[in-house]
Amino acid sequence: SYLTISRRPAWLAGAALGMGMNIKLLPVLLAPAALLALPGPRRRIEFGAGAVAVAVAGSLPVLAAAPEVVIGRVLGYGSQAGPWGLSLLAVASLQSPHFTWLHDLYARHGKLLSLGLVLGASWWAHSRCVQSALFARAGFVLSVFLSSIPGFGIQYLAWLVPWVVALGPAATATYYLVGALFLFAYYTAAAGGFPWDLANSLERHAWTAHVFALGLICWIVVCVITLLYVRTLGARSGERR
């Protein structure tokens, strides 16, 4: 975010995003917010070119040897559905014959819903906020994605760790505490008890009743954080006017 809102070359910020994409595809979700934060089409083109160039260069050995692996395993990646948030509620809807259509609808279109919300959140935040709020905008976009994502991995909780600080110490401490309790319960179940030896969720059933309960509480906290971002960004928009 610093490189994007500073007077440094836009391609440098794009290169940083592209390098992040070489490690994990997730940073691509921040591209719309970053592009909208840049003034003028020229800087946006420079940013996009830098991001694409570095991402392609870093992935070139695999792209050249096995492009189908990148397309199938990276672009087509799907995480575990069911244990988190809306996907959990969708699975719960199967208990009633009147609401099974909710599960089918979310199973088919959950990814599109999340991506659509990310794009909508990026545009809304841009239309409401000043340039200096890009850090908060990034946190808002990722909180929207994490609260609506159709699949889940316990490591996804790291997505909000650097960004939630934009909401202040109370929100940060709450997320860190609830997330830590959730992580502790999950890994204790996956390791077969504490102290931990080897946490292997493929051999042990990690999603016990209390892990589900803590996960649901953690998801609710993420949803509240998303609403706090809306209030914070809206307040900054009011200050600008």
Give the span between the Cα atoms of 89 and 102, in whole angstroms: 9
pLDDT at 6 over 50: yes
Please give the backbone phi and psi of residue 151, each rounded to the nearest 5 degrees, phi first: -130, 170
**Residue range 156-177, pLDDT digits in tens:** 999 999 999 999 999 999 999 9
Mean pLDDT computed over 139-149:
94
Task: State the average pLDDT over residues 47-62.
Answer: 90
pLDDT at 17 over 60: yes
**What type of residue is 226?**
T
The whole-number average pLDDT for the span 76-99 is 75
Distance separating alpha carbons of residues 208 and 19, to the nearest angstrom: 37
pLDDT for the residue 78: 66
For residue 45, the model assigns a pLDDT of 94
Average pLDDT, the chain: 86
Digit-coded pLDDT (tens) for 102-120: 777 777 778 888 899 999 9
Question: What does the pLDDT read at residue 241?
Answer: 46
Residue % of the chain over a pLDDT of 70 = 92
pLDDT of residue 219 exceeding 90, the answer is yes
Highest mean pLDDT among 92-101, 178-187, 199-208: 178-187
Q: Which one has a higher pLDDT value, 129 or 61?
A: 61
CA–CA distance from 158 to each of 5, 69, 153, 164 (Å)? 24, 26, 10, 11
Over range 32-53, report the average pLDDT.
Answer: 91
Which residues have C-beta within 8 Å of that of residue 62, sequence separation ≥ 6? 69, 70
